[in-house]
Amino acid sequence: MLFGGTMPTFMAGRRPLSPGNRAGIGAALVLLAVVSAVESTEPGVDYVGLLAAVPFLAAVFAVWQLVLGTGVVATMVGAVFVGLAGPNVGMAGLVNLMGIVLATGVAAAGATIRQRQAEKIAELLRLAAVAQQAVLRPIGPQVGALAVAGRYISATAAADIGGDLYEALNTPYGVRIIIGDVRGKGLDAVRLASIVLGSYRHVAYERADLKSIVQDLDRAVARSVGDEDFVTAALVEERGGTLTIVNCGHPAPLLLRRGQVIPLEPPAPAPPLGFMPEVKARVERLEPGDRLLLFTDGLGEARRDGEFFPTADRAWRLLGHGTVGDGLASLETALVDWVHGRLEDDIALVLLEYAGPDGGAAVSVPSWEVGAAGS
């Protein structure tokens, strides 16, 4: 993580201290000042030994170089008090000074280990972010006749990585969108999500209908997972104002139209990818201004005190105004506030808006879509 804020430096070319370093040095200097003040009021070496805590306090946040520096300062201050106390302190003063020196070495070593571990964690988080970006490429803001925005909300504060997936493509058969959720979490889920998206990015341009795409994706999942692994998915196609949806065990998309929120449930349920789903398409005629929300089940499972987030009740108020990107930002803010910042599962969101025909000749409805709702 990179932290904001700067601090003046005394030497040109030096980087400003990070807040962590400043906090470590500040806490150490406060303790140093307190011990020095107490020791000054009561001459002797009764409190000099407490200076050994100064480098340890700095080591909690600061890098080893600064820890070593604070330890040297603490040792020098301790030596001054021992010298002022005179020969009466004898061995006690020497033991106190040796204790400060030993504490400085141990604290610097601890800070070195902590710093290396922090660097490894930062590198892992960076790699996780790169992996996630490779899986979830940016989509929108315009794909064909649709304004599109995507958003990934991670339940893990440390890393935006998981098995939720989405993609939007402008193909010869219309705009095609997929949203899905891999069973499980972590790198295995990311691997399977990348397999599904890789297959989809190929077959979406090759297959004339969504049912064929589902069959291809099902085979790709079956070749790559165990018996208990699967991927829920919803596939959407917009062509000439006609919306076609096939659903493989996934939450139904929500159609936002003139203040109403309409769940687009499939004509018949179908199992997830990996279980040979036999899908039936749902076909809707879009109207200019219609919006469609695609989401993974993390949204439906978000709750506080046992009460689920009222997605359908609040969808129009949150998503029906501004740009599609603004709508998703509003939904995320309301959702995080609802759960007090504690999500149980990752959430992928895609919001579409149909602006209407592009001023040219109407695009014919593909023949395979005719009657698909009842097939």
The length of the chain in residues reads 375
Q: Closest Cα to residue 210, out of 256, 242, 182, 164?
A: 242
Determine the pLDDT at residue 285. 96
Cβ–Cβ under 8 Å, residues 180 and 232: yes
Q: Closest Cα to residue 169, out of 179, 159, 160, 181?
A: 179
Pairing of strands 231-239, 242-248: antiparallel
Q: How far apart are CA 127 and CA 121, in angstroms?
A: 10
At 107 the three-state DSSP class reads helix
Phi, psi of 315 (to 5 degrees): -60, -45
Cα separations in angstroms, 353 against 144, 218, 241, 261, 281: 11, 29, 11, 14, 20
Determine the pLDDT at residue 369. 40
Residue appearing with tokens 């196609």: 237
Determine the pLDDT at residue 86. 64
Residues 6+ apart with CB under 8 A from 185: 162, 163, 346
**Which 8-state DSSP code applies to residue 89?**
G
233 pairs with which residues across the strands?
Answer: 180, 248
Rg (alpha carbons) of the chain, rounded to whole number = 31
Determine the pLDDT at residue 45. 55
As given in the structure block, the two tokens for residue 277 are: 């789903």
pLDDT tens digit at each of 375 positions of the chain: 333 333 333 333 445 667 777 777 887 888 888 877 777 776 665 677 788 888 888 888 888 888 888 888 888 887 887 777 666 666 777 787 888 889 889 988 988 998 898 888 888 777 767 766 767 788 989 999 999 999 998 876 555 566 889 999 999 999 999 999 998 776 778 888 889 999 999 999 999 999 999 999 999 999 887 667 799 999 999 999 999 999 999 999 999 999 999 999 999 999 999 999 999 999 999 999 999 999 999 998 888 888 999 999 999 999 998 999 999 999 999 999 999 888 888 899 999 999 987 633 344 444 334 334 333
Phi, psi of 304 (to 5 degrees): -135, 135
Neighbours of 182 (CB within 10 A): 30
Q: For 72-91, how does the pLDDT look when each residue is reduced to its tens digit (9 = 90+)?
A: 888 888 788 777 766 666 67
Determine the pLDDT at residue 11. 38
Residues 6+ apart with CB under 8 A from 334: 309, 314, 318
Determine the pLDDT at residue 89. 62
Phi, psi of 299 (to 5 degrees): -70, -40
Q: How far apart are CA 177 and CA 163, in angstroms?
A: 17
